[in-house]
Amino acid sequence: MRTITVLVLLALCAAQFQHAAAQSPGAYPSRPIRMIAPSSPGGPVDVLARILALGMTGTLGQQIVVENRAGAAGQIGAELVAKSAPDGYTLLLGFSGPLAISPNMNEKTPYDSLRDFAPVSQVAAAPYVLLVHPTVPAKSVKELVALARSRPGKMNFASGGNGTGLHMAGELLNFTAGIKIVHVPYKGAGPGIAAMMGGEVDMMFNGVAAALPHIKSGKVRAIAVGGDKRSPLVPELPTVAESGLKFNTTGWYGIVAPRGTPQPVVVRLHAETVKALNLPAIKDQFVRLGVDSVGSTPDQFATLIREELATWAKVIKAAGLKGMPM
């Protein structure tokens, strides 16, 4: 990771100094910006935040400092940003957990995802891959659904914890296909896939890049990806939707600021985010992580959050889930 960071820094160095020199006194930004990553160091959210922060440091001409605020499925970091001064100097690299899933599971969520944030841009989309243990006699989504229907409540799937994106992907499959595969939460995606490789559970969804070594080793069988298009990392795998199910579960990430952030600041942040996402060094790192760069408009990102809230409300109600995600 250190080598990657150095390479990205070198690629952006010239742009950083060029933009820094162009900043006039009193223009935004005039001091460093905090980007809150509502996760522990080293995880996907943290890694994406640091890559993006480095790129935006070059385009904005001010340092963006990533600050980890893990806990409560991302709610701690999201709450911090929601209650911060709306001046453009505290941003959140949000994702589906704290912005769309947690508010539907936890009635005491200390913020409103639509009311308390100013969307800046979706920055990335990461499709999940559907994995099964090699002993599961299903090599396609249709076969898996048929198998689950023949064994109601007897098959199970792992996740990285209650309320996580990997958990909700499994529940969305249940909801969409009308089946009942039992959820088994683990303390992280790593322990979850280890349990599946050990035969403790039948299947799970996971990030493509994280699952790829296990797919290549034959310790798990990949049968589909959950996004709306095939992944360039595993182009031979069909999407779940290609099986005939109306299904699209993709991890997404985006920048939001506190509500009330001045519109010119949001416009500037959006423009510089898109510039950073188009840098070859950033695109390359995103591809290696198995994610697509997006760069949506603030309105498009607001629509995504609204639609995701509605989708997960239905799935969570159908699954009977409630309480604090973990």
CA atoms within 13 A on the CB side of 6: 3
pLDDT for 23: 40
Q: Which of 38-42, 74-78, 253-257 has the lowest mean pLDDT?
A: 38-42
Does the pLDDT value for residue 90 go beyond 80? yes
Highest mean pLDDT among 88-97, 225-234, 280-289: 88-97
Domain boundaries, the chain: 2-126+251-319, 127-243
Q: Tens of pLDDT along 301-325?
A: 999 999 999 999 999 999 988 766 6
User: Given 3.40.350.10, 3.40.50.720, 3.40.190.150, 3.30.43.10, which CATH number is that of 2-126+251-319?
Assistant: 3.40.190.150
Q: Which of 15-24, 128-137, 180-189 has the lowest mean pLDDT?
A: 15-24
Does the pLDDT value for residue 6 go beyond 90? no
pLDDT for 323: 67
**Strands (E) located in 49-208:** 64-68, 90-95, 117-132, 156-159, 182-185, 203-207
Does the pLDDT value for residue 21 go beyond 50? no
Provide the phi-psi class of 218: left if phi over 0, else alpha when psi is between -120 and 50, else beta. left
Tokens of 112: 């409103």
249 or 240: whose pLDDT is higher? 240
CA separation, residue 205 to residues 145, 158, 270, 313 (Å): 15, 8, 31, 20
Residue 250 near residue 124, CB atoms below 8 Å: no
Cβ neighbours around 289 below 10 Å, total: 20
Q: Tens of pLDDT along 165-179?
A: 899 999 999 999 999
Does the pLDDT value for residue 12 go beyond 50? no
Does the pLDDT value for residue 296 go beyond 50? yes
CA 119/CA 96 separation, integer angstroms: 13
- Among residues 261, 293, 325, 215, which one has the least CA distance to residue 82? 261
196 or 59: whose pLDDT is higher? 196
Q: Tens of pLDDT along 105-122?
A: 988 999 999 999 999 999
pLDDT for 195: 95
Task: Determine whether domain 127-243 maps to CATH 3.40.190.10.
Answer: yes
